[in-house]
């Protein structure tokens, strides 16, 4: 594979919401910052985390498939230092349980919740991620 075709890492995760105002308020509370990019009525985007990954919320009217009433799509896991604490905070903000914290091997724990808009939001303690952090960030 040529370098130009190599997968280099996660850039933007996009969720869908019928009510962008509610999604903006909820995720602003989750992240502790306002979105840096707003296209009124269509799209919101935040830069979050150690490497400023992009998280977007797109109006559901642009979803490729009609909603079935069930969560779907890929589960994207965000690195956290404490899975239980992260899940507890998300649940306290109105998320619903989806996947209980589960050890996947030494240094790897995952869990997931349903956000108020029907998306699956995953959190993960990931030893590889921790090992990749610069020394001052550990």
Q: Which residues contact 95 (CB under 8 A, 6 or more apart)?
A: 113, 114, 115, 116, 121
pLDDT value of residue 138: 46
Verify that 87 and 44 share a domain, yes or no: no
pLDDT value of residue 3: 52
Which structural domain range is residue 92 located in?
A: 75-138
Verify that 57 and 83 share a domain, yes or no: no
Count of residues making up the chain: 138
pLDDT digits (tens, 9 = 90+) for 10-44: 778 989 899 999 999 999 999 999 999 999 999 99
Write b or e for each residue in 28-53: b if 16 or more Cβ atoms lie within 10 A of its Cβ, otherwise e.
Answer: eebeeeebeeeeeeebbbbebeeeeb
Verify that 52 and 83 share a domain, yes or no: no
Phi-psi region of 102 (alpha: psi -120 to 50; beta: other; left: phi over 0): beta
Does residue 73 have a pLDDT over 90? no
pTM of the model: 0.75
**What would the mean pLDDT of 80-107 be, rounded to a whole number?**
93
The residue out of 62, 84, 101 marking a domain boundary is 62
pLDDT value of residue 110: 92
Mean residue pLDDT across the chain: 85
pLDDT value of residue 1: 46
Does residue 135 have a pLDDT over 80? no
How many domains does one find in the chain?
A: 2
CA distance 97 to 53: 24
């Amino acid at each position: 594979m040529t370098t130009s075709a190599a997968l280099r890492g996660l850039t933007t995760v996009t969720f869908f919401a019928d009510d962008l105002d509610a999604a903006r308020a909820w995720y602003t509370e989750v992240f502790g910052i306002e979105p840096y990019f707003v296209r009124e009525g269509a799209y919101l985007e935040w830069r979050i985390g150690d490497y400023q990954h992009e998280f977007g919320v797109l109006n559901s009217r642009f979803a490729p498939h009609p909603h079935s009433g069930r969560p779907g799509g890929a589960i994207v896991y965000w690195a956290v230092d404490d899975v239980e604490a992260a899940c507890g905070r998300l649940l306290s903000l109105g998320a619903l349980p989806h996947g209980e914290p589960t050890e996947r091997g030494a240094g790897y724990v995952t869990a997931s919740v349903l956000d108020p808009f029907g998306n699956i939001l995953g959190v993960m303690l990931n030893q590889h991620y921790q090992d990749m952090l610069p020394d001052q960030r550990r």
